[in-house]
Amino acid sequence: MRVLIEPKRPVRCEMDPEEKILVRKLDWYIMPTICVMYFLNYVDRNAIAQARLNHLERDLNMSGNEFNTAVSILFVGYVLMQVPSNMLITRIKPGVYMAGCMFLWAVVSACTAAVKSYGGLVACRFFLGIAEAPFYPGATYIFAIYYTHSEMATRVGLMYCGQLLATGFTGLISAGVFAGMDGLRGLTGWQWLFIIEGALTAFVALLGFWLLPNTLDDTPWLTGEERKLARERIARDKISDALSEATAWEGLKQACKDKRTWLFCFMQMFHLSSSAFNAFFPTVAKTLGYNTTVTLLLTCPPFVLAGAGSVLVGWSSGRLNERTWHITITLFIAIVGFVMAASTLNTAARYVACFIFPVGAFSANSVIVGWASSTLSQTEEKRAVILALTNVFGHIGYIYGAYLWPDSDEPRYGIGFGASAGFALLSICCAWVMRILLMQDNRRIRASSLEHVNLYSY
């Protein structure tokens, strides 16, 4: 494949038939497995948001900000495990490791049904965060092994679509469970929800031990020629300032010394801070005035549309080899939705806003993650650390974001929507600063070589 990269123009790729067949095969084997697993990751994580509508707080004698703390504490465990996990993943079989972690989080999620107090719920949520931590950066690391820079954003977008569909369809699942199983065999609907979703996740995790790929040398469904072609295309795709192999600790030091690392971290932190409404979306939807079943059903369509938007924006960013304007436009759309939702309590207008801000906020994610992965990939170890660090900073936003939606602020939730709009604006600012830095780096790379070189995309 010949790639001609000009920063102000789309990437033009001439891919030979053998490479097209290889990419199609990679997609068929990798994408369905990872998308389903990520779907279940968020089904288990967001079950607490639906359980709240089935009297979870009353059953566990919770009051005040205790629900917000139960939401927030998951991300404390999640953040603590991220970087150590991705430093380890370059030294073991990533597919086996991720499947094992998935089985562990399935068990912890199912055990949530047995909690009898607020303290037990907090403990389960903390350990659920630790068990879930390796999956997202691990999945993006697997993408980086098999896909080129221009292909990354679309694949991350497809995976992220699984999260958005999970957020939407958990409402449908919960509506059925609460309506048909509440009180069955002495268990509440929210207990059955955790049991059913945990059991399904455990089953898929067992399949993951065979379905998830590991490294190019340990992928049984690739032939020798396909492995060779896969290595060649990844080698061709490296940015011209690539470094030699490094140890895990060297990768950590390389990442920490690169100022662009921290800019991507803050970009993702502000972006995910603007998306902290995720765990409170059913609560916001309840302000529309409908009963529990209808409220849960109403949470589905906005996230289905957001999933389609995430895939479309990821595809467009990779196709046009452009990042900054994609982030700017999508997050500006989110800002419009946040302002609209905070400005009115009219049922129709607020539900329209509930479509606008998820589409804008979530569509930027695949672009940011793919941009960070392709920009800071001088070594495999550095890239693995970068993916973990950006995810760590991003989910720090979820820790404090949970407290921006207090019950005292209902039904308008002006604090949450206003803060989300501000965070989205800060993420846009980070993207434009990164654009300026990469333009400077590209001028330096061009000045140091008279040959054709791969440049940074922005």
Three-state secondary-structure class, residue 172: helix
Residue 186 φ/ψ region, left for φ over 0, alpha for ψ in the -120 to 50 degree band, beta for the rest:
left
Residue 219 φ/ψ region, left for φ over 0, alpha for ψ in the -120 to 50 degree band, beta for the rest:
beta
Q: Which residue has the tokens 């129709």?
A: 348
Q: Per-residue pLDDT tens for 42-97? A: 889 888 988 888 888 999 999 888 998 998 899 888 888 877 776 777 777 888 88
Residue 84 vs residues 45, 89, 260, 332, 394: alpha-carbon distances, Å: 21, 9, 21, 34, 16
Residue 110 vs residues 114, 179, 372: alpha-carbon distances, Å: 8, 20, 34
Q: Determine contact, residues 140/156, Cβ cutoff 8 Å.
A: yes
Torsion over CA: 368, 165, 87, 233 (sign)? negative
| Single pTM value for the model | 0.73
Q: Determine contact, residues 30/142, Cβ cutoff 8 Å.
A: yes
The residues facing 3 across adjacent strands are: 13
pLDDT by position in tens, the chain (length 458): 333 343 444 444 566 788 888 989 999 989 999 999 989 998 898 889 888 888 889 999 998 889 989 988 998 888 888 777 767 777 778 888 889 999 999 999 999 999 999 999 999 999 999 999 888 878 888 888 888 877 877 787 788 788 778 877 888 888 889 988 988 988 999 999 999 999 999 999 999 888 888 888 888 888 888 888 888 887 777 654 444 455 667 767 777 888 888 999 999 999 989 988 887 888 888 888 888 888 888 888 898 898 888 888 988 888 888 999 999 999 999 999 999 999 998 989 999 999 999 999 988 988 888 888 778 766 666 767 777 778 788 888 888 888 888 888 888 899 999 999 999 999 999 999 999 999 888 888 777 765 666 677 88
Element (H, E) at 132: helix 118-132
Q: Determine contact, residues 41/132, Cβ cutoff 8 Å.
A: yes
Q: Per-residue pLDDT tens for 135-150? A: 887 888 888 888 887 7
